[in-house]
Amino acid sequence: MTQAVVFSSFDRLNSADFRFLQEAAKLGDLEVLLWSDQAIRSITGREPRYSQTEREYVVGAVRYVKRVQIAEVNAGPDALPGALPFRPDVWAVEAFGATPAKRAYCAAHGLACHAIAADNLAGFPEPAPEPLSGRKKIVVTGCYDFFHSGHVRFFEEMAGLGDLFVVVGNDENVRLLKGPGHPLLTAAERRYTVGAIRHVKQALVSTGMGWMDAEPEIARIKPDIYAMNEDGDKPEKRDFCRTHGLEYVVLRRIPKEGLVRRSSTDLRGF
């Protein structure tokens, strides 16, 4: 199997990064060489926004990535670190990153330098649902407007209980519940970001309104459990589960060990 490699900091991880990783994974088994914190400081002159531990955790949860390795940047961003534990066949870069120095490095080391054109990164394709395991079905709902490691941890915990379905709020309902300025991202983009996480079997967009905007989707999924974090616990949801015979699970917002607690509100700034 062809070995593809990506070399980046992923310090502002968002849907554009997920799209890039998805396209890069089409070239072969995808290894991500993730800049260390020191590498970010050396190249950019600033502190990393997220620690290498947190970045490694989130990137490693992306379904298109085979493996993540922390890498020091010895010769700048146009050369891969020496003594890699694998031999890549192709270095995937965005079109603007295919510098002459990077192409020269690849030519000298027997690598293909594959520049992914911007047109290939457009849109938010909806992947086919993942095969179900036959375990219980879990549904979670939310906005997921500023995606972070806390969301990944929540999905990871829920996937431990069964097959996880995530329903993101439609744009109109998010505005209704959260007020002006929300959402920052369209439902299509939020659904794509959530669906890129390997713990999620399928991501959908709600078609209802109010706190139970996902009721039509829940009717189709027919889950066994409706789960949420503490801030999503609402009487309307409890009543719905009681009426429809669903198990109602509320988790505390506890970050992955070694990571800081994240909040979309804090990260977004309002």
Give, for 32, the enclosing helix (H) or strand (E).
strand 29-35
Residues 141 and 263 grouped into a single domain: yes
CATH code for position 28: 3.40.50.620
- Position 268 scores a pLDDT of 61
Residues 93 and 210 grouped into a single domain: no
Please write down the long-range contacts of 123-127, taking CB distance under 8 Å and 24 or more positions apart.
Answer: 124/15, 124/19, 124/188, 124/189, 124/191, 124/192, 125/22, 125/192, 126/191, 126/192, 126/195, 127/195
Where are the alpha helices (H) located in 34-127, listed in sequence order? 37-44, 52-60, 100-108
CA dihedral angle for residue 186, residue 188, residue 190, residue 195, rounded to 10 degrees: 180
Residue 131 lies in a domain: no
pLDDT 10s per residue in the chain (270 long)? Answer: 899 999 999 998 899 999 999 999 999 999 999 999 999 999 899 999 999 999 999 999 999 999 999 998 887 899 999 888 889 999 999 999 999 999 999 999 999 999 999 999 999 998 888 899 999 999 999 999 989 999 999 999 999 999 999 999 999 999 999 999 899 999 999 999 999 999 999 999 999 999 999 999 999 999 999 999 888 899 999 999 999 999 999 998 888 888 888 876 666 654
Residue 126 lies in a domain: no
Residue 132 lies in a domain: no
Q: Considering Cα of 73, then 74, then 79, then 85, what sign does the dihedral take?
A: negative
Spatial CA neighbour of 59 closest among 84, 85, 97, 30: 30
**How many Cβ atoms from other residues are within 10 Å of residue 194's Cβ?**
27
- Write out the residue range of the structural domain in which residue 190 sits: 137-268
pTM of the model: 0.93
Q: Does the N-terminal peptide bond of residue 183 adopt cis geometry, omega within 30 degrees of 0?
A: yes
What gap in Å lies between CA 163 and CA 132, rounded to an integer?
6
Instruction: Take residue 1 and report the two structure tokens written for it.
Output: 């199997």
Number of domains comprising the chain: 2
Give residues with Cβ within 8 angstroms of 145, minimum separation 6: 174, 182, 183, 184, 185, 190, 264, 268
Residue written as token pair 């914190």: 37
**Contact at 8 Å (CB) between 73 and 44?**
no
**Contact at 8 Å (CB) between 22 and 64?**
yes
Spatial CA neighbour of 65 closest among 152, 158, 3, 131: 3
Residues 112 and 187 grouped into a single domain: no
Residue written as token pair 């310090």: 11
- Position 13 scores a pLDDT of 87
Residues 154 and 263 grouped into a single domain: yes
Residues 159 and 254 grouped into a single domain: yes
Residues 65 and 162 grouped into a single domain: no
**Contact at 8 Å (CB) between 24 and 6?**
yes
Boundary of a domain, candidates 121, 146, 162: 121
Residues 225 and 163 grouped into a single domain: yes
- Position 140 scores a pLDDT of 98
Residue 96 lies in a domain: yes
Residues 114 and 216 grouped into a single domain: no
